[in-house]
Structure 1
């Protein structure tokens, strides 16, 4: 699985995250504020809501929860302290870049697979450590990071979102090829651990088309597919599977 990375705009340097985040929270705050005057906020008798000023623009925030563990680090020589892995992300929240005589965090671009490409600045980092050694060095870190998208025109933001959705709907495997079922390593009894919906996303561009992938490969129980099983990708334009009617007649 492709990892999340931050590309530093000024230098082209790439800061990789150790693992993909479990969750991503996206918040959009519109350019709206209460109407006020020199004496304070304006109110009016009989109003159900405070008067507002529509300023335009707004603020888009992304919050990522990341896990770092020295046992998952690449390479033969692994650090003894997980802070060696998370320090580059902390540095991205420092005011290390200059603009018009003012210091600011460096401009970075959040890149994750084909569907996330967001320019912004990291405004907050929080980290919780555990799995300490006898010398007090933490081996695991739970890191929460907040990124604020940089100013873009409304048209560019709309185009970028459309591009991300289009990329997310593009199959990763060519028609007539094959995808290989991979297990998650934590299967419950009676369950192979294979995510058939993710296979459908790779093969057909949407996890909602898992029935088409299953029927094309004559699979009656997608939950029992053994890891490592190759599955044929249906040709382009294959019709969706018929919806069964009551009584078993389609």
Structure 2
């Protein structure tokens, strides 16, 4: 499972959680709608498709499945109810911020490794609980949320995407050398405090290549790697070229 965080712009508060499964679904909706008059869609007589109006803009949506568990909570005192961990997410879906006299959900940033930093607002959240105590308090939560990226101009969006790709393709350490696993000071039960995804970013150019780093060093559980462990850096596999030619 991958660790991600949400940073609240106005307060700087950080909400940590786990991606489960390790996927993020991104949907892009272009600024296109059906042409209509007085709220009634117009039909295109003799046309294969309905007439469209191109409004420009659009929206980018991210769908995430998150896992919260009181056993994974950091700190010496663990909460007795997982809702203490998920409540900040629910508050991010409330209209608690004010902009130009209108209320709206607060701006939040999805941060994953060093290549994902997406500003947006949470527009929906759904939560499923299990692992209940005898008193009826849930200790585990499966939370699905939808985040809509905030408005950016097209040039900045292209620049940001190019920066993410460049960061994900440029290793900071040469193959055949070594990196040292540093702890982040946030050791929790069952973990060592080492951010293996960030380690993979520094060594291989992308946090998504953490499995390559783990397999090369014969590590079966990256969450238990002690701080100070020296890891060998493997070569990065060549990216297949278009057309699949040999």
Q: TM-score, normalised by structure 1?
A: 0.73
Between Structure 1 and Structure 2, whose CA radius of gyration is higher? 1
Q: CA RMSD in A?
A: 3.3
**Displacement after TM superposition at 1:40 (Å):** 2.0
Give SS of 1:20's match: strand
Q: Distance in 2 between matches of 1:200 and 1:70?
A: 27
**Displacement after TM superposition at 1:107 (Å):** 0.9
| 1:93–1:123 contact (8 Å) kept in structure 2 | yes
How many residue pairs align between the two structures?
A: 211
Q: Distance in 2 between matches of 1:15 and 1:239?
A: 34
Q: Distance in 1 between matches of 2:139 and 2:86?
A: 11
Q: Distance in 2 between matches of 1:111 and 1:103?
A: 25
Change (3 A) 1:239 1:31: closer
**Displacement after TM superposition at 1:104 (Å):** 0.7
Aligned to 2:27: 27
Give SS of 2:146's match: strand
| 2:179–2:231 contact (8 Å) kept in structure 1 | yes
Aligned to 1:219: none
| 1:2–1:113 contact (8 Å) kept in structure 2 | no
| 1:123–1:148 contact (8 Å) kept in structure 2 | yes
The reply on whether 1:105 has 2:82 as its aligned counterpart is: no
Aligned to 2:139: 139
Q: Distance in 2 between matches of 1:90 and 1:64?
A: 14
| 1:119–1:150 contact (8 Å) kept in structure 2 | yes
Deviation digits for residues 135-168 of structure 1, max 9, x if unmatched?
0000000001111001111111111111111111
Q: Distance in 1 between matches of 2:39 and 2:158?
A: 39
The reply on whether 1:77 has 2:83 as its aligned counterpart is: no
**Displacement after TM superposition at 1:234 (Å):** 6.5
Aligned to 2:160: 160
Give SS of 1:33's match: strand
Q: Distance in 1 between matches of 2:5 and 2:138?
A: 23
**Displacement after TM superposition at 1:4 (Å):** 1.4
List gaps (5 residues or longer) in structure 1: 182-197, 214-221, 241-250
Q: Distance in 1 between matches of 2:144 and 2:219?
A: 35
Alignment of 1:162-177 (within 5 A): 162-171=162-171, 173-175=173-175, 177=177
Q: Distance in 1 between matches of 2:217 and 2:13?
A: 43
Aligned to 2:186: none
Q: TM-score, normalised by structure 2?
A: 0.74
Change (3 A) 1:21 1:172: farther
Change (3 A) 1:20 1:174: farther
Aligned to 2:67: 67
Change (3 A) 1:70 1:39: closer
**Displacement after TM superposition at 1:39 (Å):** 6.7
